Amino acid sequence: MTQLVTSPEIGREIVAAGYRTNLHDQGEGAPVLLIHGSGPGVTAWANWRGIIPLLAQHRRVIAPDMLGFGYSERPADAQYSQQRWVEHAIGVLDALGIAQADIVGNSFGGGLALALAIRHPERVRRLVLMGSVGVSFPITAGLDTAWGYTPSLANMRELLDLFAYDRNLVNDELAELRYQASIRPGFQESFAAMFPAPRQKGVDDLASDEADIRALPHEALVIHGREDRIIPLEASLTLAQWLPRSQLHVFGQCGHWTQIEHAGRFARLVEDFLAEADAAAAAQQHNRA
């Protein structure tokens, strides 16, 4: 119990879409929802810990553990789908009384952010998709390894080597921490249920239809690491081509962890992009006044 109370991964608990949900809620201003990736042992804090305090200087940052991940509830039927995760994300916004938010999605979370914008366009102001799924592509060996993870310290170290371009970010301490996270009670069982073999189906199930993506009216920022071995750069190139109001930023010497390997640059890029919308909203309000 002491570990749960003192862990920085524990934020506060709400009920979202009927499920107990752990989330971090920091800062004031225009709300931004951060949706994490799908690596084994991942939590919102593990994914976004370096970004939350930077963005929270100017806006309200909400980072939940998505359904089945981290310290949020695991559904008894162990059934997971794009639709169910999107409903959970909407449930988070509803529980917090947020009518519209900017959405930042990482990898798996990018696919959910895209699907959320398609199904509930009025709930999204701007989109940021980082190393994102959301279009179909032949599954990479790296993603197959990540989704097929079985708990061992050696497997976790191998996986972290795939995620990061800068190997200095991957050390025995980090591997131990992520390994211990992956073997907490219930974590591996729910993770294994999410992306069973053949895992190409997981990529395809998280993809949205091209016509729906092309019809999105939102401003979108697409970000990718050039050396990403988990999600291919081509996925973001496709998203940037299909999203009519998009811009693309590619970080060189960067793997799948843009928000960690280039945390300051990433945060400034996202903040500038979202601040444009703040300024436009302020101008509209001034004109109405």
Residues noted as catalytic: 107, 228, 256
Terminal CA-CA length for the chain? 53
132's tokens: 């994102």
- H/E stretch holding 34 reads strand 31-35
Asked if 24 and 52 touch (Cβ cutoff 8 Å), the reply is yes
Measure the CA–CA gap between 108 and 117, rounded to whole angstroms: 15
Q: How big is the CA angle at 210 (ends 209 and 213), to the nearest 5 degrees?
A: 90
- H/E stretch holding 57 reads none
Task: Please give the DSSP secondary-structure letter assigned to residue 51.
Answer: T
Write down the residue that tokens 């959320």 correspond to. 116
